[in-house]
Amino acid sequence: MADDLGYKDVGFNGSIDIPTPNIDRIANEGVKFRNAYVSYAVCGPSRAGLITGRYQDRFGFSRNPLFAPNDVKMGLPLSELTLADALSPAGYKSIALGKWHLGAHPDLHPLKRGFDDFYGFLSGGHDYFPELYTLNGVYDAKKQYDGYKTKLLRNYERVEEKEYLTDALSREAVNYIEKYKDQPFFMYLAYNAPHTPLQATEKYLERFENIKNEKRKIYGAMVSAMDDGVGRVLNKLEELKISENTMVFFLSDNGGPERVNASDNGLLRGGKGDLFEGGVHVPFALRWPDKIDPMVYDSPVSALDIFATAINPVKNEITLKNPLDGVDLLPFLQGTNNGMPHSFLFWRKYDQKWSSVRKSDGEKLLKNPKDTLLFNLKKDISETNEMKDEDLMHNLLDQYQLWENNLRDPVFLGLLQNDLYNRKHPDRFTKPD
């Protein structure tokens, strides 16, 4: 999983100035999804949806969580089963690497959420250069973004990392593949690249002397570092002769924030934080050579589908706690089901009072306090020409309302309420006795 990657910033979606040959291998040797979505337009809720296979609004994860190590409610509710939880009874070992962002409280730690191994950080972002890791632990933090400066965790222990963060995560991924090569494993490799801060080493910067925009140059270097890591992972799978029967997904957690990190969403309108296509329509590919032939797939799919697809080989060996919103994509990709995986996809931004629904045939509605907008994405992927169709608008609003009736209000204050949270929790970073 990439973090804040622009839709057009991979070769298989038309990138020209940032080569991504290794990421492209996943798409070219597997499935290129042309209409793939995440369930939210920023990282925390999007990741909560992916790791549970459920719309995160069903369990109140409707905001980007704060870095709050004393708050067990600030993150993925304990009522929810993660993909790692689900796979464990079938004998899988699970590894979480990189960005967690599903809670910093000890009870929300990856090792308490089904994972056997963890190497990374608990906050929503992090610096990339290890000399900046000046805090020994969460209780050395004094404010929200101090989480970026914590030393990395291996399971529960702080470590002295020496490598550029993206390279370190790739190293750990390869090592864990080697460790678990003889048994089923699930690896959640959550790069924080190319999320800010924009930081890259000379090794990667020198590849982009042709890019004159300094911000875009650093961004390209960060994407290139991640692409190198993807290549290391794919090569290790092939070296160990387990590549053919390993399912590899690639996606971004949301659209690129173009003004912030110089990403490029191509023809898509808007970016991170928006319910326009630029915020939720992401690069997405799946490679599984033993089971799926290379193809381009145009029907709408969701990051929520990763859970249901990943458990396909062992679904008779596990018991799920809650109904999934995601769909097993294999019958659709293998040609045994010629229908659409989803009739509708939905989004809600609770605080901003924004909502959206997309029909499988491309008709999409967006509603905010001022406007209700209707587009046909098959004819107008850039969402520049509003449709006028009262009947369709009412139908989509009705579908959205049926979905919203089963949602919860947010169960925690989020990043937008940081100051309010501080007032309510003056002991936010005070270590418990």
Tell me the C-alpha distance between 250 and 257, whole Å: 19
Tell me the C-alpha distance between 142 and 89, whole Å: 40
Q: Is 425 a catalytic residue?
A: no
**Closest listed residue to residue 248, CA positions, set 302, 290, 301:** 290
Structure token pair of residue 419:
């100051």
**Closest listed residue to residue 348, CA positions, set 328, 329, 325, 327:** 325
- Catalytic residue (one of 101, 109, 126, 281): 101
From the centroid of its chain, how far is CA 38? 7
From the centroid of its chain, how far is CA 8? 17
Q: Is 43 a catalytic residue?
A: yes
Tell me the C-alpha distance between 225 and 313, whole Å: 32
The residues that bridge with 284 in the sheet, in sequence order, are: 251
Beta-carbon count within 10 A of 340 CB: 15
Contact 50, 250 (CB under 8 A): no
Expressed in angstroms, the distance from the first to the final Cα of the chain is: 37
Contact 230, 22 (CB under 8 A): yes
Does residue 89 have a cis bond before it (omega within 30 degrees)? no
Contact 421, 412 (CB under 8 A): no
Label the pairing between strands 295-297 and 301-302.
unpaired
Q: Which residues 6+ apart lie within 8 Å of 316 measured at CB?
A: none
Structure token pair of residue 233:
């992972």
Collapsing DSSP to helix, strand or coil, 108 comes out as helix
Catalytic residue positions, numbered: 43, 101
